[in-house]
Amino acid sequence: VKLEEIRQFAPKVLTREQCEFYYENGYLHVEGLISPEWLARLRTALEEVVEKSRTITKTDDNFVLDPAHKADAPRLRRLSYAADNHPGFWDFAKNSPLPDAVADLIGPNIKFREAMLNFKWARGGDEVKWHQDTSYPYTNTWPIQTLTCLEDVGMEQGPLMVLPRSHKGEVYNRYDKEGRWVGAITDEDLKRVPLEKAVPLTGPAGSTTFLHIYTVHGSRRNDSPRGRPLLLCGYDPADAFPIRGLPLVSKYTGEIIRGKETLYAHVEGGKVQMPPDWTEQRYTSIYEIQQKEERKPGYYGVG
Ligand SMILES: O=C(O)CCC(=O)C(=O)O
């Protein structure tokens, strides 16, 4: 099996124990992987994109605005294409120790999927309801999400919460009774999810979470006076191919970041609910869908 193949490579930046923790629990939270220099560069890039958002008045493919966003007081939910918007984010996604750690976890050949910023702004930054990242199923279950805190995150900021070992369990329903993709695990299915076992991942700026795409996760609203900007960089093993299109396709999506390309898909058995076909539906963001601001038959959203 794939895990046995991955274990043959000696990890370069993580320890063997950290890798095993990830395989067992479906997540890994690491402090100190990102240097203060990288963090400073990411924060500069963050300031620059927030500055740019002042000229934006309506949510577009790139800037997902909080309804209260104004030129003189920006409030953002998400920047959907962080790497395309600022070379600092792309440089980080490609050249920092982050993809080295990803290669330690999912094998030496990896390609870039996406990079986005979830802002969770101060005083009202949105909740992200419980979900798995099955809005983009693949031929196998090795694609990974990474989430790096650009500021210190305590309980009041609405940290990412994960349910350990849930990547080994069920893939939950994300459609409502009318057949609309709701971007979150349905209330009915949620009754079967042992959420009392969920773990909040607080930590200092620069800490990173590695998340298996089937791990149940979410985060609460941020009512505190401090924002919780989080940089998400997603990667796929070179041998994982999306079977239903991807919600967010950047100009860098599919670019090999470490190792080499392959023409052969690694295919695993199993059952996964199909999201709507993203090549036919416009994607906005998880926030619009989960908050019911925008929900149409077959319409989607989470990532
Ligand atoms: O921002 C968060 O806390 C959760 C992020 C997430 O799960 C997503 O954007 O899909």
Task: Give per-residue pLDDT as tens, 129-171.
Answer: 999 999 899 999 999 999 999 999 999 999 999 999 999 999 9
* 285 CB burial (10 A radius; 0-12, 13-18, 19+): buried
Ligand 1 centre to CA of 5 (Å) is 30
What is the C-alpha to C-alpha distance for residues 286 and 303, in angstroms, rounded to an integer?
Answer: 6
Ranges assigned E (strand) in 136-278: 144-149, 160-162, 199-200, 208-212, 217-219, 230-237, 256-258
Residue tagged 């390609």 (tokens): 111
Mutate to test the pocket of ligand 1, among 201, 219, 283, 289 (most ligand atoms within 8 A of CB): 219
**Per-residue pLDDT tens for 174-233?**
998 888 888 899 999 999 999 999 999 999 999 999 999 999 999 999 999 999 999 999
Two structure tokens written together for 41: 């560069």
Measured distance CA(294)–CA(303) in Å, rounded:
16
Any idea what DSSP says for residue 148?
E
By the 10 Å C-beta count (0-12 exposed, 13-18 middle, 19+ buried), 101 is classed as buried
Q: Which atom, in ligand 1's list, is nearest to the CA of 158?
A: 3
The predicted structure's pLDDT at residue 178: 85
128 lines ligand 1 (CB under 6 A): yes
- Mean of the pLDDT values across residues 58-86? 95
The reported pLDDT for the residue numbered 182 is 87
Q: How far apart are CA 100 and CA 14, in angstroms?
A: 9
Is ligand 1 within 6 A of the CB of residue 76? no
Supply 12's token pair.
């370069």
Instruction: Answer positive or negative: Cα dihedral of 201, 39, 126, 132.
Output: negative
What's the pLDDT score for residue 299? 43
**Measured from the CB, is residue 145 less than 6 Å from ligand 1?**
no
Which strands make up the sheet holding 199-200, listed edge to edge?
A: 128-131, 217-219, 160-162, 199-200
For the chain, the average pLDDT equals 93
The answer on pLDDT for 269 being more than 70 is yes
Task: Report, as an integer, the average pLDDT of 103-128.
Answer: 97
Place of tokens 């330690």: 104
Q: Which pLDDT belongs to residue 282?
A: 63
pLDDT recorded at residue 247: 86
Query: pLDDT class for 284, splitting at 50, 70, 90?
Result: low
CB 2 within 8 A of CB 109: no
pLDDT digits (tens, 9 = 90+) for 108-117: 999 999 999 9
Q: What is the pLDDT of residues 29-57, one digit of tens each?
A: 999 999 999 999 999 999 999 999 999 99
Q: Is the Cα torsion angle 148, 154, 155, 158 positive or negative in sign?
A: negative
Closest Cα to atom 7, ligand 1: which residue? 218
In angstroms, what is the span from residue 147 Cα to ligand 1's centroid? 8
Tell me if 116 CB under 6 Å of ligand 1. no
Residue 142: both structure tokens together: 């090795």
| Structure-token pair, residue 38 | 């990288």
Task: Please say if the pLDDT value at position 277 is more than 50.
Answer: yes
- Decide: 64 in ligand 1 pocket, CB within 6 A: no
**Structure confidence at residue 300 (pLDDT):** 41
pLDDT of residue 297 exceeding 70: no
